[in-house]
A and B are shown apart, each in its own frame.
Chain A
Amino acid sequence: MTGDSTAFDFDALIHEDKVHRSLYTDPAIFDRELTRIFGGTWVYLAHESQIPEPDSFFRTRLGLRPIIMVRDGDGVIRALYNRCTHRGATVCRAKQGKATSFTCPYHGWTYMTNGKLIGVPWPEGYGHDQRQEDKFNLAQVPRVESYRGFIFGTLNMDAPALADHLGPVREPIDDWLDRNPGGKLVLSEANRMRFKGNWKLAYDNSADGYHVVFSHRSLLMMENRFAGEDPKGMSFYRQRPDSGPVRVYYFGNGHHFKDKRPTLADGPGAIWRIEGLHPGMEGYEAEIRERYGARADALLDLAGSIPMNINVFPNLLILGNHIQVLEPLSYNETATTWYGTAIVDDGDELDGAADLINALRMRTQEQFPLFGEVDDLTNFEEIQAGLGAEEDPWVYMDRGLGMPDRFTEKDGVISGPATDEVFMREYMKHYKALMVADPELTISRGGHDR
């Protein structure tokens, strides 16, 4: 089912120091990504807080496949194909909500939330009973696994277990979660954007420390207009970032990470101190200090943006407190949704401070998408435009290449200075391996076999 693997010469398109424009501009390569990557490897689908209880559902996509993420009546998380097995219409048209069944609006076929077909109008008109045949249950992603609330799926039965696939990227994800009460977060709506460009332009950017002072120049100026001697936000990059403690890491399997935490001062309050200026900061801070005294700094840090960029190939980008999800729409169009996150304090570890923290935390998350990401997205679109030049096909990513003193390698994890493009070079090797491979993609029909 996977077609001719010799149609593309990926060795000619992906070199150590550069990649060919066609990775971003060729619709045929995009089509191939929809099976080899979005299907052939683990892909992020949803967060568990989007389907919090039995019968919750959330509509999404796996590549271009329409998917309903559900927690079925037994609480099992499933990724159902949103495609009636009769004539192919989508059976779920709401974005999210609760449902005990899905009825196709076209001819009324009805499915349980575990995908099982339970109703066919006027069944006496058929010479067989579809309800007894698995092939009429909704298709579903055969492997769905979660890691600490992040739900992934793959159609590749030969893929490793999710935990093994994630490997060392689990460590920063654990850190990112464990700073919050109960080690968990829930989604709290989103800043939703799209751009006319290939999805990899966003993935190339996600650990890129080189673009910051240029692409985000207006934001850096804005967030420091009152800062004086106490620089805010991303100011670290204004000096000589490669001499500083920020490192980029490559973890294998396409995952990479930019760790800016080493720039933080010691002790509680360090995250809050570098936070930009947002609505309500001074008032809420004063209230939290008055109520919580010595604990206030640690509490305020929970409202501040943790300086980490954790990128899980191919579509989950954890930046600051955001969960950014990339959705490829075509070779030259991508949706990028910046989900906000809120803390939940079920055990009341924070003595009632959670609501105050979240009120601040909502505001600290809106500024970058509105005043920073928009400039990146414009630059991505302008790359897509620039790559229209056929005779000038190469995109370079060789910053740091051939300079072994800049890197360390330990247990398979490669690390380099803040502005290095090593993360791009390494993820592109993984991308090439996936694009060359011919995995067998399968679906499950749930129902009787589960």
Chain B
Amino acid sequence: MSAADRNPSNSSYYVTDDFYAKLVADFEGWDLDTRRIDDGPDYVRARSILLREARYLDQDRMRDWLALFSPECAYWIPGTRDRGDPRREIAFAFHDRRQLEDRVYRLETGYAWSQTPVSRTSRMITNIEVFGTDEPGVTMVRSNFQVTEYWNGQIRFWTGYSVHRLAPESDVEPGFGAILAKQVNLIDCDENHRNPSITL
């Protein structure tokens, strides 16, 4: 198969050792005060993407949610407080493009009993801060989240902060394919969770 035929929706060639190494480095030491972008178009755009993402997830618009991610993306929920290296430790979740689509496909089968009926969620996204990187136009966005989940007669919460690595703004539909990588840091990532089947 030539590189041109490689579709990250049905194969995974891009998640290489170099990809992991860059991902780990990108998510280390990015939140320097000197790199913080307080306002302006980067901030407005980041906020717009994050709020859209939360709305799509709350509205169960999973295909629209997928469209926010770049073709060669990473979705990472570390299982430890220091995040670790996903090459050497199990994560709460670590998805590439194909596995993000797997996640959505499974929910759409109608036989995912952990999401039958589907959880109802309400997401609060706050404390948004945008940081510049060494790559032109690429930003890191930190935000706090609280997801309230109603499932099986009970209300519960998922709390923490997310880090989005966003691609430079493109000419296509704003936000489309913008998320290069998303890291979800639960405050209780190393605790045993009941039914961890919603998408964070």
A195 at the interface (CB under 8 A from B): yes
A381 at the interface (CB under 8 A from B): yes
* Residue in chain A with minimal CB distance to B105: A222
What residues of chain A lie closer than 8 Å to B91, measured between beta carbons? 189, 362, 366
Q: In the complex, what distance in Å separates the CA atom of A26 from the CA atom of B118?
A: 31
Interface string of A73-98 (1 = CB under 8 A from B): 00000000000000000000001000
Task: Decide if B88 touches A374 in the complex (CB within 8 Å).
Answer: no
Task: Decide if B193 touches A193 in the complex (CB within 8 Å).
Answer: yes
Task: Decide if A221 touches B192 in the complex (CB within 8 Å).
Answer: no
B11 at the interface (CB under 8 A from A): yes
Q: In the complex, what distance in Å separates the CA atom of A95 from the CA atom of B91?
A: 18
Task: Decide if A189 touches B113 in the complex (CB within 8 Å).
Answer: no
Task: Decide if A225 touches B105 in the complex (CB within 8 Å).
Answer: yes
B65 at the interface (CB under 8 A from A): no
What residues of chain A lie closer than 8 Å to B110, measured between beta carbons? 218
A28 at the interface (CB under 8 A from B): no
Task: Decide if B12 touches A191 in the complex (CB within 8 Å).
Answer: no
What residues of chain B lie closer than 8 Å to A371, measured between beta carbons? 102-103, 106, 112
What residues of chain A lie closer than 8 Å to B89, measured between beta carbons? 188-189, 340, 362
Given A221-B111, A283-B12, A284-B16, CB of A194 within 8 Å of CB of B193: yes
Task: Decide if B90 touches A193 in the complex (CB within 8 Å).
Answer: no
Task: Decide if A279 touches B96 in the complex (CB within 8 Å).
Answer: yes
Distance in Å: Cβ of A257 to nearest Cβ of chain B? 24
Q: In the complex, what distance in Å separates the CA atom of A1 from the CA atom of B178?
A: 65
* Residue in chain A with minimal CB distance to B190: A192
Q: Which A residues between 189 and 239 are near B, CB-CB below 8 angstroms?
A: 189-196, 215, 217-219, 221-223, 225-226
Q: In the complex, what distance in Å separates the CA atom of A340 from the CA atom of B79?
A: 11
Task: Decide if A337 touches B194 in the complex (CB within 8 Å).
Answer: no
Interface string of A277-295 (1 = CB under 8 A from B): 1111111101100000000
What residues of chain B lie closer than 8 Å to A362, measured between beta carbons? 86-91, 94
Distance in Å: Cβ of B126 to nearest Cβ of chain A? 27
* Residue in chain A with minimal CB distance to B11: A282
Q: Which candidate, A30-38, A258-266, A352-360, A422-430, is the interface stretch facing chain B?
A: A352-360
Q: In the complex, what distance in Å separates the CA atom of A283 from the CA atom of B84?
A: 22
Q: In the complex, what distance in Å separates the CA atom of A222 from the CA atom of B112?
A: 10
What residues of chain B lie closer than 8 Å to A378, measured between beta carbons? 113-114, 116, 195
What residues of chain A lie closer than 8 Å to B56, measured between beta carbons? none
Task: Decide if A193 touches B194 in the complex (CB within 8 Å).
Answer: yes
Q: Which of B84, B96, B106 has the most CB of A within 10 A?
A: B106
A336 at the interface (CB under 8 A from B): yes
Task: Decide if A279 touches B94 in the complex (CB within 8 Å).
Answer: yes
B10 at the interface (CB under 8 A from A): yes
Partner of A278 from the list B12, B19, B193 (CB cut-off 8 Å) is: B12
Q: In the complex, what distance in Å separates the CA atom of A188 from the CA atom of B90?
A: 6
Distance in Å: Cβ of B101 to nearest Cβ of chain A? 9
A370 at the interface (CB under 8 A from B): yes
Task: Decide if A355 touches B152 in the complex (CB within 8 Å).
Answer: no
B109 at the interface (CB under 8 A from A): yes
Distance in Å: Cβ of A167 to nearest Cβ of chain B? 31
Task: Decide if A188 touches B94 in the complex (CB within 8 Å).
Answer: no
What residues of chain A lie closer than 8 Å to B190, measured between beta carbons? 95, 192
What is the size, in residues, of chain B's interface with A at 8 Å between Cβ atoms?
47
Interface string of A309-337 (1 = CB under 8 A from B): 00000000000000000000000000111
Partner of A370 from the list B12, B191, B196 (CB cut-off 8 Å) is: B196
Task: Decide if B196 touches A374 in the complex (CB within 8 Å).
Answer: yes
Q: In the complex, what distance in Å separates the CA atom of A358 from the CA atom of B87?
A: 7
Q: In the complex, what distance in Å separates the CA atom of A235 from the CA atom of B197?
A: 23
B80 at the interface (CB under 8 A from A): yes
Partner of A193 from the list B19, B94, B192 (CB cut-off 8 Å) is: B192
B95 at the interface (CB under 8 A from A): yes
A375 at the interface (CB under 8 A from B): yes
What residues of chain B lie closer than 8 Å to A219, measured between beta carbons? 106
B15 at the interface (CB under 8 A from A): yes
Q: In the complex, what distance in Å separates the CA atom of A281 from the CA atom of B87?
A: 13
What residues of chain A lie closer than 8 Å to B16, measured between beta carbons? 280, 283-284, 287
Distance in Å: Cβ of A99 to nearest Cβ of chain B? 19
Q: Which A residues between 375 and 425 are near B, CB-CB below 8 angstroms?
A: 375, 377-379, 381
Q: Which of B89, B105, B113, B190 has the most CB of A within 10 A?
A: B113
* Residue in chain B with minimal CB distance to A192: B192
A363 at the interface (CB under 8 A from B): yes
Q: In the complex, what distance in Å separates the CA atom of A338 from the CA atom of B11?
A: 27
Q: In the complex, what distance in Å separates the CA atom of A50 from the CA atom of B14?
A: 33
Q: In the complex, what distance in Å separates the CA atom of A374 from the CA atom of B110?
A: 14
Task: Decide if B15 touches A191 in the complex (CB within 8 Å).
Answer: no
Task: Decide if A355 touches B87 in the complex (CB within 8 Å).
Answer: yes
14 A-B pairs within 8 Å (CB atoms) are namely A191-B90, A192-B190, A192-B191, A192-B193, A194-B192, A279-B94, A279-B99, A287-B16, A336-B192, A340-B90, A355-B87, A356-B17, A371-B103, A375-B113
Q: Residues of A with Cβ closer than 8 Å to B?
A: 95, 188-196, 215, 217-219, 221-223, 225-226, 277-284, 286-287, 335-340, 342, 355-356, 358-359, 362-363, 365-367, 370-371, 374-375, 377-379, 381
Q: Residues of B with Cβ closer than 8 Å to A?
A: 10-17, 19-20, 79-80, 84, 86-96, 98-99, 102-103, 105-107, 109-114, 116, 152, 190-197
- 11 further interface pairs, Cβ-Cβ under 8 Å (given A282-B12, A362-B86, A374-B114): A189-B89, A194-B193, A218-B107, A222-B102, A225-B105, A281-B12, A337-B192, A340-B90, A355-B87, A362-B94, A375-B114
Q: Across chains A and B, which 10 residue pairs bring their CB atoms closest together, nearest first?
A: A340-B90, A280-B15, A279-B96, A374-B114, A189-B89, A217-B111, A359-B87, A218-B112, A218-B111, A192-B192
